[in-house]
Amino acid sequence: MISLEQITGEIAILEEEKPTHVVMQKLAALYIVRDHLVMGTQPATPVMVSNEVIPTLEMDSPFLHAIYGKKASDVLPVVNELVETVQLLNPSLYEGFMRKIP
């Protein structure tokens, strides 16, 4: 069985290489395996999701129009899937996004 330390070491090596398609594919696979190993060692954290309808916001964007009037509990799983993809493909963008959450 491959250990978490081995996976973390491989990730560190690949992150130093020139970002080619092959390197990015390897990193994506390693990030997924690492995250599953880490998640398997942590107890599940309950997430509170409101069933309130998302209100009108002052900003105007296609995304906000798409979620207007929807329940947060219906929208958040879709947003979470997108955020997980961003985490794999662009970790620095993901970290910046997470820092903006109040």
Q: Verify that 35 and 5 share a domain, yes or no.
A: yes
Question: Is 12 in contact with 23 (CB distance < 8 Å)?
Answer: no
The total number of structural domains that make up the chain = 2
**88 in the same domain as 71:** yes
Taking the whole predicted model, whether its pTM rises above 0.75 is answered as: no
Nearest in space to 10 (alpha carbons), one of 44, 37, 49:
37
Considering the domain architecture, whether residues 52 and 102 belong to the same structural domain is answered as: yes
Q: Which domain holds residue 14?
A: 1-45
pLDDT in tens, 37-68: 777 665 655 656 666 776 666 667 788 878 88
pLDDT of residue 74: 87
Residues 90 and 72 in one domain: yes
Residue 93 has a pLDDT of 92
Q: What is the model's pLDDT at position 2?
A: 79
For residues 78 and 35, membership in a common domain is answered with no
| Residue 57 shares a structural domain with residue 79 | yes
Q: Which residue has the higher pLDDT, 45 or 88?
A: 88
- Mark whether 21 and 70 lie in a shared domain: no
